[in-house]
Amino acid sequence: MQRTLVLDLDGTLVDSVPDLAAALNRLMAARALPGFTGPQVTRMVGDGARVLVERAFAAHGKPPDAGALADFLADYAANVAVRTRAFPGVPETLRVLAGAGWRLAVCTNKPAAPARTLLGALGLEPFFAAIGGGDSFPARKPDPAHLLATLEAAGGTPARAVMAGDHHNDIMAAAGLGMPAIFAAWGYGGPEVGAQAAAVARRFSDLPQIAALLLPE
């Protein structure tokens, strides 16, 4: 059976913090609250839009108001690819992986619509057999059911798959399926996340070699 490499989106394929921070700060400004720096937002991302908004308000000692999440999502959806960029080597490496026979998929806690819009704007969507967003299935990472559903949508199976991501949610989801996980060291997670992974990639271009070692053809 064909091998599948499942990739996280934010912090693994793309540096999305600039646009996430901009939308979050516009949300804060509309409520007369202080905004956040890029590094502060980096520490908040990884668990989906709802949790990001909750963490932002909690930082100011407040719960989100009833319209906060919808306002954030509408703003972010309209500005998802203003300053977000793929990490160095992403398109070229995806071509290498596809050429080596890997099936590719994305498993992200970002809602599916902005995930697809972003990947399309960056010219990356055609590489992927499936995109499993945070609202695509009943579960989301770190629940392995999210990763499994994404794999099945791509036509893959855990026994013939590898996960790559920068967040502990990625490593935990893979562990739940008995899949090897590669820590994306260029992303938003700290070294403690890498300690839980089967391997560490320092650059995106390292993924083909590491994935092939973890799951030989």
Asked if 47 and 59 sit in the same domain, the reply is yes
Asked if 152 and 172 sit in the same domain, the reply is yes
Asked if 106 and 175 sit in the same domain, the reply is yes
Q: Read off the DSSP letter of residue 44.
A: T
Rounded to the nearest 10 degrees, the angle between the axes of helix 112-121 and helix 68-78 is 20
Asked if 93 and 197 sit in the same domain, the reply is yes
Asked if 177 and 141 sit in the same domain, the reply is yes
The CATH number linked to 124 is 3.40.50.1000
What residues are labeled active site? 8
Asked if 66 and 154 sit in the same domain, the reply is no
Asked if 210 and 103 sit in the same domain, the reply is yes
Asked if 157 and 50 sit in the same domain, the reply is no
E strands within 38-176? 85-86, 103-107, 130-132, 161-165
- Across the chain, mean pLDDT equals 96
E strands within 4-117? 4-7, 14-15, 85-86, 103-107
Q: How many domains does the chain have?
A: 2
Asked if 92 and 140 sit in the same domain, the reply is yes
Asked if 21 and 48 sit in the same domain, the reply is yes
The tens-digit pLDDT sequence of the chain (217 residues) is: 899 999 999 999 999 999 999 999 999 999 999 999 999 999 999 888 999 999 999 999 999 999 999 999 999 999 999 999 999 999 999 999 999 999 999 999 999 999 999 999 999 999 999 999 999 999 999 999 999 999 999 999 999 999 999 999 999 999 999 999 999 999 999 889 989 999 999 999 999 999 999 999 8
Asked if 70 and 88 sit in the same domain, the reply is no
Asked if 39 and 129 sit in the same domain, the reply is no
Domain range enclosing 170: 4-15+84-214
In this structure, the number of other CB atoms found within 10 A of the CB of residue 38 comes to 12
> What is this structure's pTM?
0.94
